[in-house]
Each structure stands twice: as C-alpha cells, then as structure tokens.
Structure 1
Amino acid sequence: MAHKHEEEEKVRLDKWLWAARFYKTRALAKAAIESGKVHCRGERCKPGKEPRVGEELQIRIGFDERTVVVQALSIVRRGAPEAQTLYSETAASIAKRENATAMRKAGALGMSTDGKPSKKQRRDLFKFRGSGNDD
C-alpha cells in the first residue's frame, strides 16, 4: 500500500487541471496542454509534468488567461469550493482578466454577431468593400 501513497504525492499536470476544475475532462486538459494553452514557468509543458506546490502556471481558456499558483495537489475531482483551494490566482491576473472582459463587453455592444446582418449592416459592408449591390 505504500506505493499507492507515493502516487498521491505525484500528480500529472493534466490530472491536476481536471481536479482543479479548469477543464471538464482529462482529455480536454491534455489537449489544451499539448496545444500550448498551459505554460509552467513561462514554457510549454507536457501532460505528464508533475506540478509542485508554489509553481506558477499560465492557463488560457477561451478568451481568458489566468496566472495561478499551485497551493495543493490532488488527483480527486471534488466540488468547486474544494477545487478552488488547490490554487490561488494572482492579483495581476484577476485585474487583467476583468479588464479584458470589460473591453469585450464594450466592443460587443455595438455589433450583433448572432444570425445574419441587418439591412444597415449589409449596406455598411457593401460600402466598406467598395462594391455595389451585385445580387
């Protein structure tokens, strides 16, 4: 049984990201790491990397980029309140993320992206492209 205890101290990065609830499945966590969305100490890493307490990770999920410090290791996925104890987000990261969210909301208010463009938006597009109404 001592072998089981050693495994709990060593955690794969993809398993930790899943346990900390950054990704819904380990497969998604692994894919994110392999595609370069997770950096450890400013460098790309592999899914089998073992994070250590106190290490800083940069994690990009969608539009958001978070810088978190590993507080604890776990291979068990639990509820969100417990998962949040596994890491702490840096103050600079929180401020940067909130600012980016505000900028996206401000930019999104002017232009609707759902469905086809309105008649005015189509006219503006034709004017911008420099072509007449060729339809």
Structure 2
Amino acid sequence: MAAERVEGEAGERMNTDAPARNGTERAPAATGAEAPGPGADAGPDQQVAAAVAAAEAAGPQQGETVRVDSWIWSVRLIKTRSAGAAACKGGHVRVNGERVKPAHSVRVGDEVRLVHEGRERIVVVKRLIRKRVGAPVAVQCYVDNSPPPPPREAVAPAGIRDRGAGRPTKRDRRDMERLRGFGGEPGTGGRTPRP
C-alpha cells in the first residue's frame, strides 16, 4: 500500500494519505492552476481577510498556546523575537499584571503590557498567531488599550542648524550654548562674570 506523496508550497514532500498531527484528515495539496491566489483580483479588505485566514491556519490549534515573546513579535509590537525575549528577561513584559519569562504561554483574553522605547503598550489578545504578519493583519490580533503617544515637538530643538548652513560662527556657538544652558550671561563673551 503505497501512500501518495505531493509537494507542498514550501517544496517539502508530505504524505496526503496519512492523518495530520491533530487527527484530522489532510486534504490533497492544491495545484497553482486550480484557483487564483488571495491577491489576484481582490480589494484591500479581501486581501486582509485572506491574510488573516492564512495566519490563523498557521497558528495553534484549539487549546494550544503561544509563547509571549513569539506573539509580541508576530503582532509587530517589537522588531525581533530576540528583542522580545530580552524584554521579557528584563521585566518589561507583563501578562495579566505579572512579570513573565519568554516561554510564558499567552491565551486569548490575556492582557499584555509591554514597555518598549519609552512607551507603554497595553493590548488584549484577540487572536493567537505564531508567524509574523503584515501590519493590517497584526492590528486585528489584539485590542489596543494603550495611552496615546506623547505629541512630537512642533519646533526644532535648540541648537539644530539648517542643513547646508555651513560651520557656525563664534557668535552662533555662544548663542547655542546659552540656549542649552551652558554659557554665561550675554555680553560677557561666554565667560561667567566674577561676583
């Protein structure tokens, strides 16, 4: 009894007659000529829905969990998984109010607090995924309860010169030092006056 083998999308051979790991029957792999891909003639909403479906298919099965460092990387709260693990080890990640290790399991409904780059992110897990996805899909995997980011300064910081303005003169340097709080009183030539 020879089992039929078919190549999957990743180029690996898989047995289509053998049951899958979770006990369900595996369907034969589809060939590329049968149906167009998810982005063939679809609008942006349909593409996002297809990407969400693909992310859920690659995610854990019923009852399984995902590591917290992997999840915060997958939903793009942090740039790399190793940075997520380092944040957990440093005590910057809390799940339901408790500091957690990188291997802590996350479940749907958990509140994840992450302090990263001087900003606190508070999210509630809505979907579990293991693979990194695009930003439109990532925002559908959590509910963001974070405080708004601080506003950017409307004016340029003191001491920044326009590009191409050339080297500052002695007077310009004194003015910049005075704005930064390093220089003395104006008119003293940069020296601090004697008492």
Normalised to the residue count of structure 2, the TM-score between the two structures is: 0.52
Counterpart of 1:77 in structure 2 is: 132
**Deviations, residues 25-44 of structure 1 (Å, cap 9, x unaligned):** 11111111111221112221
Q: CA deviation at 1:72?
A: 0.8
Bigger radius of gyration: 2
Cα displacement (A) at 1:118: 4.0
Confirm or deny: 8 A CA contact 1:65 1:97 kept in the other structure.
no
Q: 2:169 — aligned with what?
A: none
The match for 2:43 is none
Contact 1:66–1:97, Cα closer than 8 Å, also in 2: no
**Equivalent residue for 1:31?**
86
The structure 2 residue matched to 1:65, chosen from 100, 111, 120, is 120
Structure 1 residue ranges, 4+ long, deviating more than 6 angstroms after superposition: none
CA distance in structure 2 between the partners assigned to 1:71 and 1:118 by the alignment: 54
Counterpart selection for 2:148 from 97, 113, 119: 97
1:79-114 superposed Cα distances (whole Å, 9 cap, x missing partner) = 111111111112xx2xx323xx12x526x7453479
Please state which structure has a larger fraction of its residues in helix: 1
Contact residue 64 and residue 97 of structure 1 kept, 8 A:
no
Q: 2:109 aligns with which of 43, 48, 54?
A: 54
Unaligned regions of 5+ residues in structure 2, if any? 1-20, 24-56, 162-171
Letter in 2 for 1:111: A
Q: TM-score, normalised by structure 1?
A: 0.72
Note the alpha carbon deviations across 1:9-51, whole angstroms, 9 max, x for none: 2211011111111122111111111112211122211100011
Q: 1:127 aligns with which of 174, 177, 184?
A: 184
Q: Secondary structure at the match of 1:82?
A: helix
SS of residue paired to 1:111: coil
User: Which residue number in structure 1 is paired with residue 158 of structure 2?
Assistant: 111
Alignment gaps of 5+ in structure 1:
none
CA RMSD of aligned residues (A): 2.9
For 1:88 and 1:111, how far apart are their aligned partners in 2?
38
Q: Is the 2:174–2:183 Cα contact (8 Å) retained in structure 1? A: no
**Equivalent-residue separation in structure 2 for 1:81 and 1:61 (angstroms):** 21
The change in CA–CA distance for 1:36 and 1:113 in structure 2 (over 3 A counts) is farther
Identity of aligned residues (%): 33
For CA contacts below 8 A with separation 6 or more, give which structure has more relative contact order: 1
